[in-house]
Structure 1
Amino acid sequence: MTQCISFNESSVFSFLSKKWAFDFSSKTRNVAPNQINTPELKHPPGYVDRSFPATAVRDSDPHLMRQRSWNIALGPFRQVPMNLFIMWISGSSISIFPLMSVIMLFLRPLQALLSAQATFNLIEGSQATIQCFVYVLGNLVILALAMYKCHTMGLLPTYASDWLSFIEPRQAAEWSVGGFVV
């Protein structure tokens, strides 16, 4: 013998969905939509009954234009700390990760310099020439970091022995290594 719990199904569902229920069965099709008497529902938290923005947006505000232009101009300088960290993490050995980091150090500023005209069109205001100069200077700093990284990895031909096969590479006169005396 199985026990069955009986309950009135319609009363449970009507209780659970009472707050958000609409009764469309009692309305006729001939009634205009604005004459339907629907219960007033509460608005969700944070709802504001007005269109945004409340004030007119001022795209031509000189302070905002100047600030936006300086943000564009200083963008390459904001990348310098990240690039220094990546240079430090990758080390000076010649392997895949350091080579990829060096390639990206070269590519990003070169692409930015090649598309500089489109960037300069975004820069407006009385300080536009200074901001364009700062933008180009920031990209040149990143290129200089890439050149330094290539030098520390030994990829640049900076010694005579790199160019001429009959000259022996320089030998280090002495080595200095930190550590503890055991």
Structure 2
Amino acid sequence: MEKGKGVARRWAVEFADNSSYSLPSDIPDPLGFTRSSSDPDDANASRQKKDAEAAWKAQKAWEVAQAPFKNLLMMGFMMWMAGSTVHLFSIGITFSALWQPISALQGVGKVFEPYKDPRVDTLAPKLLFIALNLAAMALGVWKLNSLGLLPTHASDWVSSLPTAPEVEYSSGGLPFH
């Protein structure tokens, strides 16, 4: 009823005074709904929910661990397309191929933080993630070597070799006593 008017409205709900309003208990539950399964204290349902969440976290951890493989294939294709000559594009692709795995390896803990759960073992996905990033870094080092930017030959170190001792001395035709 509206206050002060004396006229009863059939579908009106007074929110200010909630003590007089209650749900009628004779209304049946909707089809497919049972009160016992919606009980938050039901241990079986909560355990199944936790198990499903743990399985989802484990699956997502493996997906994250395998993500560097896709990047490895893409980066290998880009390096192949860049060619074996030293120019700005090939050097940029190569250093990108080196920087991405290094930064990914520095953040392994952050990458797998959302999947941390006592029921989920993230050691194997972390090891796979690290191995794939190390493979990507090895691909970048291989490309540096194929570009000739790594000092792998003896001629690359000539400037650091000591000078040979003098065996003979020439004075330009004047006798030397």
Q: Where has structure 1 moved over 4 Å in runs of 4 or more?
A: none
The reply to whether residue 74 of structure 1 matches residue 73 of structure 2 is no
Equivalences for residues 1-182 of structure 1 within 5 A: 60-124=52-116, 125-165=119-159
Q: How many Å separate the matches in 1 of 2:152 and 2:114?
A: 40
Deviations, residues 16-58 of structure 1 (Å, cap 9, x unaligned): xxxxxxxxxxxxxxxxxx9xxxxxxxxxxxxxxxxxxxxxxx6
In percent, how many aligned pairs have the same letter?
Answer: 28
Higher alpha-carbon deviation: 82-91 or 106-115: 106-115
TM-superposed CA distance for 1:67, in Å, is: 1.0
Calculate the aligned-residue CA RMSD, in Å. Answer: 2.8
One-letter amino acid of the counterpart of residue 78, structure 2: I
Could you say what secondary structure the match of 1:93 adopts?
coil
Could you say what secondary structure the match of 1:154 adopts?
coil
Q: What's the TM-score, normalizing by structure 1?
A: 0.56
TM-superposed CA distance for 1:154, in Å, is: 0.3
Asked whether the equivalents of residues 72 and 123 of structure 1 are also in contact (C-alpha less than 8 Å), the reply is: no
Higher alpha-carbon deviation: 137-146 or 108-117: 108-117
Q: How many Å separate the matches in 2 of 1:149 and 1:110?
A: 16
Q: How many Å separate the matches in 1 of 2:81 and 2:113?
A: 36
Could you say what secondary structure the match of 1:164 adopts?
helix
Q: What stretches of structure 2 of length at least 5 have no aligned partner?
A: 1-10, 12-48, 162-177
One-letter amino acid of the counterpart of residue 154, structure 1: G
TM-superposed CA distance for 1:165, in Å, is: 4.2
Q: What stretches of structure 1 of length at least 5 have no aligned partner?
A: 1-33, 35-57, 168-182
One-letter amino acid of the counterpart of residue 70, structure 1: W
Q: How many Å separate the matches in 2 of 1:81 and 1:72?
A: 16
Asked whether the equivalents of residues 105 and 143 of structure 1 are also in contact (C-alpha less than 8 Å), the reply is: yes
